[in-house]
Amino acid sequence: MQKLDGNVLAGPLSEVMTGDATSAHARCVHCGDVAVIAQAVVYADGSRFVARCRRCDSVLLTIVEAGDDVRLTMTGVTAFTMPV
């Protein structure tokens, strides 16, 4: 497992959203910290990614790429705001 940051999510997230989702702001539902997705702490295991809050370490979202499927679970963020 590699410790990375939200920049690495740009590829997987591009499969489910148009535009660069790593530049989106989001609020951690646990501690209220507002950051761009690129600033999250990300643990990567092959094509499975878990993004955690840079401040309180709660899980923000998980994304799994398996073949042609991408599964995104966004349980820990709110006010997800994409730049247009």
Partner 1 sequence: MIAHAAWHVATVSATHPETPSARRIVLDIPDWPGNLAGQHVDVRLTAEDGYQASRSYSIASSGDAPSIELAVDRVASGEVSPYLVDDLMVGDQLEVRGPLGGWFVWRPDPAHRPVQLIAGGSGVVPIAAIVRAHRAALDVTPLRLLYAVRTPDDVFFRSELDREAADPGPTAVHVDYVFSRRAPDGAPRPAGRLTRELLGELVLPPQQNPLVFVCGSTPFVERVLGWLKELGHEVDDVRAERFGGA
Ligand X SMILES: Cc1cc2nc3c(=O)[nH]c(=O)nc-3n(C[C@H](O)[C@H](O)[C@H](O)COP(=O)(O)OP(=O)(O)OC[C@H]3O[C@@H](n4cnc5c(N)ncnc54)[C@H](O)[C@@H]3O)c2cc1C
CB of 75 to partner 1, least distance (A): 23
CB of 66 to partner 1, least distance (A): 10
Tokens in use for 56? 């309180």
* Rounded Cα distance, 20 and 29, in Å: 22
- Number of neighbouring beta carbons within 10 Å of residue 23: 14
Of 24 and 27, which has the nearer Cβ to ligand X?
24
Catalog residues that contact Zn ion under the rule CB under 5 A.
28, 30-31, 33, 53, 55-56
Under the criterion CB under 8 A, does residue 44 sit at the interface with partner 1?
A: yes
State which amino acid sits at residue 60: L
